[in-house]
Amino acid sequence: MSNSSRPFAPFEWMIAWRYLRSRRSEGGVSVMTWISLVGITLAVFALIATLAVRSGFRSEFVGIILGANAHVSIYQIPTTNEFGRLDRKIYNYAEMAEAVKAVKGVTRAAPVIKSQVMATYNGNRAGVQVIGLAEKDLMTLPRIANPERALGNISDFAQGIAIGSGVARDLNATVGDKIKLISPDGLKTAFGTSPRVKTYEIVYVFTAGRYDIDKTRIYMPFGEAQNYFNRMEAADEIEVMVQDPENIESLNDALFEAAGGRTQLWTWKDASGAYLRALTIEDNVMLIIMGILVLIATMNIVSGLIMLVKNKGRDIGILRTIGLSEGAVMRIFFICGAFTGVIGTVLGTLLGCLFAIYVDPIFAFINVISGGDVWDPTIRGIYSIPAELKFDDVAFAVILSLALSFGVTLFPARRAARLNPVEALRYE
């Protein structure tokens, strides 16, 4: 063995492998090394699982928002009508919708009527939001036209109403049943305001995937909504869908110009921006915490490797005496420590990916053995825990784990390389 041997020569791998295979009684791998292996595996698993759930939750949340709501809602600034009351209804809704639809990047512009009413059926009651929308426009909402689950036929929308599965559950009603809608803003008489009551047949029950939408939303044909809410020849707003909702801000000026001077815009980011920012902050905090866990796990490599160097002091002295360089000794013990990091990272990555792929059956099993609802949609808004496995997230976890594992290995490996062979063999 000469000092001119190339780095990571076969004999260096051979010696490192023999040290790793040797029993503890022979001065080989210590318990700390096994602890560090398990620790790195669990830390990488937790990191990948957290990143997958984080990505899945954000994608699911944004997907439901964009799949069941308008990307932009256009309102009119209120004006005083002939009776001295503020009026923000849009009377030229057809012309405004056509002008907005002509904006490059807009895929749909639809007049809409919205109001809150009470729904009743067989003594059951529920407060709901009624949205008046044309059938062709309803078909453009992916989470409504193609929901997770549905009853009835959406093509019958003109003959009745479409309701969320949560509303149907609260009313104990289903397709074919006729429910009453009661609006407090009814006809004004000499004895006060008379509530407006009308019966509608349920033709479609949808599950959009978000608890608050399914529990409160009812869709009604636009013309019928105009009659029921006394919005004849008017709409409450224009709902706009665009090709690139993530960059909705770039269309603001064009939408203002197309809709006219009394326009107010309310984008999906305005409605959910605070929640999305909270998600981003939570993501960053969790990423830091998981990164610290990986660092703690890799620090165990130092303890195990220091013990290995101490046990192999005599071997180091002999290797240095017969001509092995400091660099060669350093690389041998670097391989021993790095091997633990690599194996732990591989096992952790495998477990993390399997968790992300089979998250639904895993939580179903946990739900069964716990005897309760592990995932409460009334609190979290969605019906199951989502997980989305992304290559970037997996790559980040692998790179972080390997970088920390290799980094902490350098200190004990360098200490082994600088061990004085005279001191190592003095008492042998």
200 has a pLDDT exceeding 90: yes
Q: Look up residue 5 and give its DSSP letter.
A: P
Q: Please indicate, yes or no, whether residues 43 and 162 belong to a single structural domain of this protein.
A: no
Domains: count for the chain: 2
Instruction: Kindly report, residue by residue over 205-245, the tens digit of the pLDDT.
Output: 999 888 888 899 999 999 999 999 888 888 999 999 999 88
Instruction: Kindly report, residue by residue over 348-370, the tens digit of the pLDDT.
Output: 999 999 998 888 888 777 777 77
Q: Give the mean pLDDT of 328-348.
A: 84
pLDDT of 1 = 46
For the ranges 151-165, 169-183, 258-272, 326-340, which has the lowest average pLDDT? 326-340
In this prediction, residue 381 has a pLDDT band, given cuts at 50, 70 and 90, of low
90 has a pLDDT exceeding 80: yes
Local structure of 422: helix, strand or coil: helix
pLDDT of 4 = 45
Q: Give the mean pLDDT of 398-407.
A: 90
Please state the pTM of the whole predicted model: 0.72
The first and second tokens of residue 418, run together, are: 């600088």
**Could you tell me whether strands 192-207 and 161-164 are parallel, antiparallel, or unpaired per DSSP bridges?**
parallel
Q: Please indicate, yes or no, whether residues 291 and 250 belong to a single structural domain of this protein.
A: no
Q: What are phi and psi of 184, to 5 degrees?
A: -70, -20
Residue 268 lies in a domain: no
Look at residues 231, 261, 291 and tell me which one is the last residue of a structural domain.
261
Q: Please indicate, yes or no, whether residues 19 and 126 belong to a single structural domain of this protein.
A: no
| Domain containing residue 357 | 10-63+276-425
Residue 73 lies in a domain: no
The first and second tokens of residue 260, run together, are: 């006219």
Instruction: Kindly report, residue by residue over 110-152, the tens digit of the pLDDT.
Output: 999 999 999 999 989 999 999 999 999 999 888 898 888 899 9
Q: Please indicate, yes or no, whether residues 50 and 154 belong to a single structural domain of this protein.
A: no
Is the model more confident about 267 or about 82? 267
Q: Please indicate, yes or no, whether residues 127 and 162 belong to a single structural domain of this protein.
A: yes
173 has a pLDDT exceeding 50: yes
321 has a pLDDT exceeding 80: no
CA geometry: angle at 108 spanning 107 and 113, to 5°? 160
16 has a pLDDT exceeding 80: no
Q: Please indicate, yes or no, whether residues 231 and 344 belong to a single structural domain of this protein.
A: no
Rg of the chain (C-alpha set): 33
Residue 192 lies in a domain: yes
For the ranges 169-178, 243-252, 273-282, which has the lowest average pLDDT? 273-282
pLDDT of 424 = 52
pLDDT of 186 = 65
Percent of the chain with pLDDT over 90: 30
Residue 22 lies in a domain: yes
Residue 310 lies in a domain: yes
Q: Please indicate, yes or no, whether residues 226 and 361 belong to a single structural domain of this protein.
A: no
Q: Please indicate, yes or no, whether residues 56 and 98 belong to a single structural domain of this protein.
A: no
DSSP for 304-362? Answer: HHHHHHHHTHHHHHHHHHTT--HHHHHHHHHHHHHHHHHHHHHHHHHHHHHHHHTHHHH
Percent of the chain with pLDDT over 70: 82
Local structure of 172: helix, strand or coil: coil
What's the rounded Cα separation, in Å, for the pair 390 and 16? 35
Q: Please indicate, yes or no, whether residues 168 and 108 belong to a single structural domain of this protein.
A: yes
Look at residues 209, 236, 261 and tell me which one is the last residue of a structural domain.
261
Residue 183 lies in a domain: yes
Is the model more confident about 63 or about 424? 63
Look at residues 232, 261, 290 and tell me which one is the last residue of a structural domain.
261
Residue 406 lies in a domain: yes
Closest among 249, 241, 223 to 109, alpha carbons compared: 241
Is the model more confident about 327 or about 213? 213
335 has a pLDDT exceeding 90: no
Say if residues 213 and 64 touch (Cβ distance below 8 Å): yes
Closest among 332, 327, 316, 308 to 428, alpha carbons compared: 316
Residue 271 lies in a domain: no
In this prediction, residue 26 has a pLDDT band, given cuts at 50, 70 and 90, of very low
CA 100 from chain center: how many Å?
A: 32
Q: Please indicate, yes or no, whether residues 56 and 186 belong to a single structural domain of this protein.
A: no
Phi-psi region of 181 (alpha: psi -120 to 50; beta: other; left: phi over 0): beta
Q: Please indicate, yes or no, whether residues 205 and 280 belong to a single structural domain of this protein.
A: no
Closest among 408, 306, 393, 305 to 353, alpha carbons compared: 393
Q: Please indicate, yes or no, whether residues 38 and 84 belong to a single structural domain of this protein.
A: no
Local structure of 228: helix, strand or coil: helix
338 has a pLDDT exceeding 60: yes
Closest among 255, 294, 310, 320 to 70, alpha carbons compared: 255
What's the rounded Cα separation, in Å, for the pair 163 and 218? 4
Average pLDDT, the chain: 82
